[in-house]
Amino acid sequence: MSITLRSPLDMHLHLRDAQMLTIVAPLSASSFSGAIIMPNLIPPVSSKEDVLAYKKRIMDSIGDSSFTPYMTLFFKPTYTRDFLESVQDEITAIKLYPAGITTNSEGGVSGFEIDDLRETLDAMSDLGIPLCIHGETGGFVMDREAEFVPIYEKLATNFPKLKIIMEHITTSASVDALDKFDNLYATITLHHLIITLDDVAGGMLQPHLFCKPIAKRPEDREALLRVALSAHPRVMFGSDSAPHPKESKEAPGCAAGVFTAPIALQRLAQLFEENNTSFDNLQKFVSDNAQEIYGITPIEKTVTLSKKEFTVPDNYDGVVPMSAGEKISYTIDSIS
Amino acid sequence: MSITLRSPLDMHLHLRDAQMLTIVAPLSASSFSGAIIMPNLIPPVSSKEDVLAYKKRIMDSIGDSSFTPYMTLFFKPTYTRDFLESVQDEITAIKLYPAGITTNSEGGVSGFEIDDLRETLDAMSDLGIPLCIHGETGGFVMDREAEFVPIYEKLATNFPKLKIIMEHITTSASVDALDKFDNLYATITLHHLIITLDDVAGGMLQPHLFCKPIAKRPEDREALLRVALSAHPRVMFGSDSAPHPKESKEAPGCAAGVFTAPIALQRLAQLFEENNTSFDNLQKFVSDNAQEIYGITPIEKTVTLSKKEFTVPDNYDGVVPMSAGEKISYTIDSIS
């Protein structure tokens, strides 16, 4: 059995910088046509110069792969319409982080008063720049995302023409919100379709599955699976592949993030097959929906997978992927 | 300010065996009068010979400390009345583990049909041997204890004269059960009075706070605090201090257990003070209630603490305690 995926897209990707960038960017660039690149560097990507310089570093690190890094800015409520107009051609979206909520998010937003955000969000809305949001409050770890849903809804109500993307959703509460507002969209990771908190901390503690938002309850995973497998038209694949060096994942105070980019398409093929789901829906989930939502036409790239066992490497140059050492039932055969 | 605790007791303690025993036993023996010793060795403590031999190893490892190891057997539904009569003088309780639920519990109970347990539990009831239970199902990690409560209630109903001790309770569901049945008792750990899942996995991942049952929600911690601070007469302190070598706690697949024995009394004093709670209640929580419940008269030992900063060591011979490197506001001044 073989599957052909046309121009797969990863709509939420961390490529980091410096040495890590050179390790992970080629892995995404080889099998994806493009990816939305998260801006949470130190310091965050927040000017046109930052965007152009980071994009150049990405392009330099992927060699001759055909791959589009869809660049983003780190949201600041101080962005003016003039600034956004000046940078618009270089970015695909703007990513909003509540302050301090995840890796390198210290400079994020510390309040969601509509009046404080109106100028920037009105301009984004007018200019057609989507707003990607890491939607978590500072509350109890299992409640943070559900507590953020009213903020999603407030933004969706106040900015009805703004495309708001609920990033890496992990709860049935977010799935429910998706169906209440036409301008709410979502990305879903591979790992949140597979694991629950049980896999992180139900047996022995598994740092390589520790991420933010943390994996939730079985009924949350079911809700995510439902919209992913059915290729809900406002849902896209976004790996949130978030590499950290093995040493910093395997020490006390383990950093948050699951590294999945190099195994994502293979494992998604297995997941859709296990759930007796049409690969047409996988095509929509990993590309078509995103093209429609973002209005982008990605580089043509054809990825052919076949049902042949693939053993996940223990690490990629010192970065441990999800399912390291385990077998996945699909392999990438060819990319053209 | 100083506090005097009379004959403190730790009603749930893991002393392990071999080298670990020689490290941790003296630490408990120095500040506690006695402790209920868990039987989950490999193989489990399940005969009179096992009990006597383990007790001797404990006594050998504590030198000339005055300390009573209150020995337990690892529950098996095959224990006969004759066997229990023969071993009764050597044990204080029997500990039941559902199979596979925590460290070295593989040989535990795999079902809770009353008829399968009746002979052993009737005999225990008649002989006045308390039943200590690790109450978790194999369900989702945050639900396991609450799902077990109906089993506690079934046992309490069917064996009304059996003292059933819900070990290391972590949820408001267990606190509620306590108030429904006069023959249900509970131990509460230090760490579950202090941490929630937020401390384990809400920021960075903290393996030294990873334990079973896992720390739960804020409202669960509040319920535990309420009965501990008020010294509910059917509630006792049991540290569930569960040492593992630093290397096995700090590696992927981290073992479950928090090591608290050497800091427990100091941190409890701080906790009671922070909550403006009478130290009379601390005395009940760490000794008097247990004496009443178990009908034991511990070795006389007086532990005097004063309000003086104590910096928790980074490790005790390679075993990392909770709050390593942090400051606690009470110090043990003298033990007599």
CA distance B131 to B248: 31
CA–CA separation, B9 vs B264, rounded Å? 11
In chain B, which residues touch A (CB < 8 A)?
Answer: 140-142, 196-198, 200-202, 204-208, 210, 214, 217-218, 249-256
Q: Phi and psi for A136 in degrees, rounded to 5?
A: -140, 140
| pLDDT 10s digits, B134-151 | 999 999 999 999 999 999
Tens of pLDDT, residue by residue over B237-286, are 999 999 999 999 988 888 899 999 999 999 999 999 999 999 999 999 99
* Residue among A236, A281, A190 at smallest CA distance from A3: A281
- Say yes or no for a CB contact (<8 Å) between A210 and B205: yes
Q: Give the rounded distance of the alpha carbon of B312 from its chain centre.
A: 21
SS3 A197: helix
How confident is residue B214, by pLDDT bands cut at 50, 70 and 90? very high
Q: Helices (DSSP H) in chain B: which residue ranges? A: 18-31, 48-61, 81-87, 114-127, 144-158, 172-178, 191-194, 197-201, 218-229, 246-249, 264-274, 279-283, 289-294
Query: What pLDDT does A252 receive?
Result: 83
pLDDT, tens digit (0-9, with 9 covering 90-100), for B104-130? 888 899 889 999 999 999 999 999 999
Tokens at B120, concatenated: 């052993």
CATH 3.20.20.140 correct for A8-297: yes
Radius of gyration of chain A (CA): 18
Note if A240 is an active site residue.
yes
The predicted complex's ipTM stands at 0.94
3-state secondary structure of B73: strand
Q: Which of A198, A202, A206 is closest, CB to CB, to B252? A: A206
Q: Is the pLDDT of residue B39 over 90?
A: yes
| C-alpha–C-alpha distance, residues B288 and B290, integer Å | 5
Alpha-carbon distance of B54 to B325, in angstroms, equals 32
At residue B98, does pLDDT exceed 90? yes
d(CA B191, CA B280) in angstroms, rounded, equals 21
pLDDT at A100: 85
The predicted pLDDT at position A150 comes to: 97
Superfamily in which the B7-300 domain is placed by CATH? Metal-dependent hydrolases (3.20.20.140)
Q: Rounded to whole angstroms, what are the CA distances from B330 to B274, B308, B309, B311? A: 11, 5, 6, 10
Q: Where is B35: in which H helix or E strand? A: strand B34-37
Q: Which of A207, A217, A250 sits opposite B140 (nearest CB)?
A: A217
B223 and B180 Cβ atoms separated by less than 8 Å: no
Considering only CB atoms, which residues of chain A are within 8 Å of chain B?
140-142, 196-198, 200-202, 204-208, 210, 214, 217-218, 249-256
Rg (CA), chain B: 18
Both tokens assigned to B125 = 């009831």
Counting as low any pLDDT under 70, the low residues of chain A are: none
pLDDT-derived band at B203 (thresholds 50, 70, 90) equals very high
**3-state DSSP helix/strand/coil % of chain B, to nearest 5:** 40, 20, 45
Give the tokens for residue B195. Answer: 């941490």
Calpha distance A145→B96 (Å, rounded): 38
Q: Helix axis angle, A114-127 relative to A144-158, nearest 10°?
A: 60
DSSP per-residue codes, B205-225: B-GGG--SSPP--HHHHHHHH
**Which residues of chain A have a CB within 8 Å of the CB of B205?**
205, 207, 210, 252-254, 256
B276, two tokens = 């403006």
User: Which 3 state secondary structure label does DSSP give B322?
Assistant: coil
For B95, which DSSP code? E
pLDDT digits (tens, 9 = 90+) for B169-191: 999 999 999 999 999 999 999 99
User: What's the Cα-to-Cα distance from A27 to each of A2, A211, A263, rounded to whole Å?
Assistant: 21, 20, 9
Confidence at residue A156, expressed as pLDDT on a 0 to 100 scale: 98
Chain B contact set for A205 (CB, 8 A): 205, 207, 210, 252-254, 256
- Choose the closest CB to A140 out of B196, B251, B253: B196
From A10, A220, A240, A288, active-site residue: A240
Torsion of CA A54, A59, A60, A64, to 10 degrees: 170
- Please answer whether residues B281 and B230 qualify as being in contact, where contact means their C-beta atoms are separated by less than 8 angstroms: yes
Q: What pLDDT score does B156 carry?
A: 98
Question: Average pLDDT of B210-217?
Answer: 97
End-to-end CA distance of chain A: 19
